Every structure is written in C-alpha cells, then in structure tokens.
Amino acid sequence: MTRGAVILAVSLGYLAISLIVGMWPSKKSTDSAAGFVAGDRGLGLVVMYFITGATVFSAFAFLGGPGWAYKKGAAAFYILGYGALGMVPLYFLGPRAARLGRRYGFVTQAEMVASRFGDVRLAGVMAVVSVAAFVPYLALQMKGAGYVLEALTEGALPEWAGALLTYAVVLVYVLKSGVLGVGWTNTLQGVFMMVLAWGLGLYLPTKLYGGVGPMFAKIAAERPELLSAPGLSSSGEPWSFLAYGSAVTVSILGFCLWPHLFMKSFSAKSEDTLRRTVVLYPTFQIFLVPLFFIGFCGVFFTPAPDQPDQILPHMLMHMDLPSVVVGLFCAGALAASMSSGDAMVHAAASIAVRDGYITAGGRTLSADAERRAIRILVVAVMAAGYAFAVLYQGSLVTLLLATYGAVVQFFPAVVLGLCVRRLTARGVLSGLVVGTAVMLLFTLWPDLRPVPVHAGLYGLLPNLGLAWALSPRGEDARVAAFFAVADGD
C-alpha cells in the first residue's frame, strides 16, 4: 500500500470505531427530551470529565494552538490561561442550575433564563445568538478535519470530502444516541488524544532538537521575541498587554457560557459529580502543553507551511515517519474535531427546538415530535457548518475568538441572573440585544475600535450597564420561588 493509502486506512478504522461506540448508547436512551438532550440527568464523573474536556479539546487544539505557538510564540499561552480558569464559575453556578433543572425540567440555559425573568423573548434571542455562534465554531472543527485528511493522505481525499466523511459519522451517532452518544465517543476520543498529544509533543522536539530544553534554548538565542510575553500579534508586531488581557478576559467570562458546556449542569448525575468535574477539568489543559511544543518545533523547520495552522501536519508529511504513526496522528486530529463538533451540533439543534420553537414560540410538542424536530435541525445545522467551512479561509484562532465575543453577551442573563435578584427582563433583554449588536459591529469593522480591546468587551460593557440601569429594585413571588430552588431551600 502507498503511504497515503495506509494513512487513510488508519483514519477510516478510527472513524469506524467511533461510529460503533457512538451508536451503542442508543440502547440506553429514552424517548424523552431529558434522555436525548440531557442523558436522563445521569452522567457519571468519568463521562462528565471527558464530555467537558474533550468538547473543548477541539481541532483548534491540534491545528490552531500549534499554529499560534509557531507564528506568535508566547501569545499561544493565553489558551492555557482561560482554559484553566474558565470553568471556575460553573463550580458555583452549576449546582444552582442543576437544582432548577431537576425541579422545573430545564435542559437548556435559555429555558432557565426565560423562567428566571418571566420573558420567553429572552429564550428566542439567546437561541438565535447561540446558533449563530455555533455555526462558525462547528465549521472550524469541520475545516480542521478536512484539512488534516487532505494533507496527510497527500490529496487522495480532498478537504471537502474529508470533512464530509468525518461528519457523516458524527451525524449518524448524534441522530441515533443523542447526548449519550456524544458522551461515550468523547470518552474514547479524550483518552486517545491525551496519549497522542504527549507522544508527538515529546517525540518531535527530541528528533529535531535533541529534546525540549535544547529546542527552547535555540529559540531563545535566535528568535527571543517568540518567548517574550505576551507574544506577537497577527501583524507580526508585539501583542499589547491590553489586547492580550482582553482576549483572555472575554474567553474566561464566556467559557462556561457556551451552551453545550453549560447544559452539562443539567446532565450530571449529582451536584458532587458536577463539582468534581469542574475541579478536575483544568488537568485537560496539561495536554495542550505538548501541542505547543510541536508548534515551537516548527520555528526553524524548512520548508515552511503555507499557513501557520498547517504546521503540525506539514512537519509530519516532510519527516521520515512510519505511515502508521502519521495515520494515528490523523486519527487523533479527527478525534479532536469530532469530540467538539458532535457536542456543538447536538446542542445547537436542541437549543433551536427547545428555546426557539417551544419556549419562545409557545408551541407544544410530544416527546417523539420533539426528538424528530431536533434530529431535523441536527442535519440543518451540520449543513450550515459545512457550507461555512468550505467558504471560510481565515485563521482558526481568529474565528474562535470572534465566537467567544458572542457567547460572553450571555453573562448578565446567566451568571448575574442566577446570583442577583434585582435584575429584570427589561434590563437583561435590552442589554443582550444592544451588547450583541455592538460586538458584531466591532467584529466586522475592527478598525472602528478606539483601543485594541476584544470586540466582546465593547459589547459587554453596554450590556451590563443596561441590564443594571433598566432593572428597578424589587422582587416578586416568582423570583423569590426561583431563588429558593436555586439556593436549595
């Protein structure tokens, strides 16, 4: 067999295993929304750990992370900063949301917010913003999977076909098994990615430089700007601490507000399981470190890749490595893509139906009709993500940062909504709409920003201001009952 054929065979074998693992839990799913969307609120610690960790450990980790280390040096470490701290709010908010979910039957955060403020329009707006943020984020995963397959099979499988094949597998097990299929496959994919990341992250520096230490010594001597915080910007100039700090801040504030992550509060078996998951989650960030090593390995590698995001597969294709080893890396990159993409497409479809159609639209669906509607939306969201992936040609990290600017606008509605009694629907809804519009303005036209601060912060400031200013003091019986449940009284 040719080198490309061996790599393709290994990758197809991994996809087949993922399909089997993802299909198996369908035997345990129920016909209820809680079964398909929230796993009957019975996910244990191991599955919760991997379903949260592997969901974030995406194609971005295997491509965008090394790409930033290669091109921008220390700038890549912002990922470790927000990743280690981003789940902390869920330690306090998650159990409150879980109590509310068990009492009122919530399976999405927008359902909870609409009930908290007594206004179904909030669920509708949050549904629109969520799905709009999910589509490009999903496209990032698809694009990564397609590129890796095309590069490592030496063009035997084009990028569009690679993305289509990978996500056809995801489509089947998400449609069949819901969140349980996502959880089981994420456990498989998480273990596989951990082993592969450390294997490659230690092997490549040793092969090219004689070790991690000699590699950094060479960079410090010849390219010291790459090791000086906060690293380089997209223009190649030193990244300002203001821009760096705003990127970290937006990512930390928005991290656990991603609907597919926050929804795990409604899936955990118990509050203790949820808290332990949050405490253990930062250990997943350890597995980004070897991927940064790989990016730094490429600083002096010749020939250079066409784009920074391509550095890891580019090096593997130009080194004398066994085809099976390269095939395993290809499978690992697919695992990273799939472990995030499956959770996103499942969450986006669930949100569109539960929040947009049922809660905001005031419609009623039977359990069978609801599951059927979610499955239809899974196909629609995946098609939209695929179209975006084919058309988008920019940086993966830049795309990721832009999506965080959208979800961070949920901060007043979700975080403050669970903690501050005085907020009202009028203030929160006004803040969410205006904040999202301002964020979108500065994302599409970044030159309008007076200072180089992340567009998400520009939106969050008026969002918070309006949420507070337009909320008169006072508390009614409905709000009191909501907080009584959240507080565990």
Evaluate whether residue 35 is within a structural domain: yes
- Residue scoring higher pLDDT (445 or 64): 445
Q: Cis link prior to 95 (omega < 30° from 0)?
A: no
Whether the pLDDT of residue 318 is over 90: the answer is: no
Dihedral pair phi/psi, residue 232, rounded to 5°: -105, 155
Evaluate whether residue 404 is within a structural domain: no
**86 Rama class: left (phi>0) / alpha (psi -120 to 50) / beta:** alpha
Evaluate whether residue 402 is within a structural domain: no
- Residue scoring higher pLDDT (304 or 30): 304
Whether the pLDDT of residue 424 is over 80: the answer is: yes
Evaluate whether residue 466 is within a structural domain: no
Evaluate whether residue 487 is within a structural domain: no
CATH code (residue 190): 1.20.1730.10
Whether the pLDDT of residue 475 is over 80: the answer is: no
- Number of domains, the chain: 1
**Structure letter (DSSP) for residue 265:** G
Average pLDDT on 254-275 reads 85
Q: How far is it, in rounded angstroms, from Cα 238 to Cα 296? A: 17
User: What residues make up the domain containing 387?
Assistant: 3-397
Q: Read off the pLDDT band of 326 (50, 70, 90).
A: confident
The highest-confidence range among 152-156, 177-181, 248-252, by mean pLDDT, is 248-252
Q: Which pLDDT score is estimated for 452? A: 87
pTM of the model: 0.84
Q: Which of 252-261, 310-319, 340-349, 393-402 has the lowest mean pLDDT?
A: 393-402
Let me know the angle formed at the C-alpha of 457 by 453 and 462, rounded to the nearest 5 degrees: 130
Q: How far is it, in rounded angstroms, from Cα 64 to Cα 76? A: 9
Evaluate whether residue 214 is within a structural domain: yes
The three-state secondary structure class of 463 is helix
% of the chain with per-residue pLDDT over 90: 33
Q: Which pLDDT score is estimated for 205? A: 95
Evaluate whether residue 485 is within a structural domain: no
Evaluate whether residue 236 is within a structural domain: yes
Q: Read off the pLDDT band of 150 (50, 70, 90).
A: confident
Q: Which pLDDT score is estimated for 33? A: 52
Whether the pLDDT of residue 36 is over 60: the answer is: no
Q: Are 88 and 253 in contact (CB under 8 A)?
A: no
Whether the pLDDT of residue 38 is over 50: the answer is: no
Q: How far is it, in rounded angstroms, from Cα 324 to Cα 329? A: 9
Q: Which pLDDT score is estimated for 39? A: 44
Q: How far is it, in rounded angstroms, from Cα 393 to Cα 94? A: 37
Whether the pLDDT of residue 473 is over 80: the answer is: no
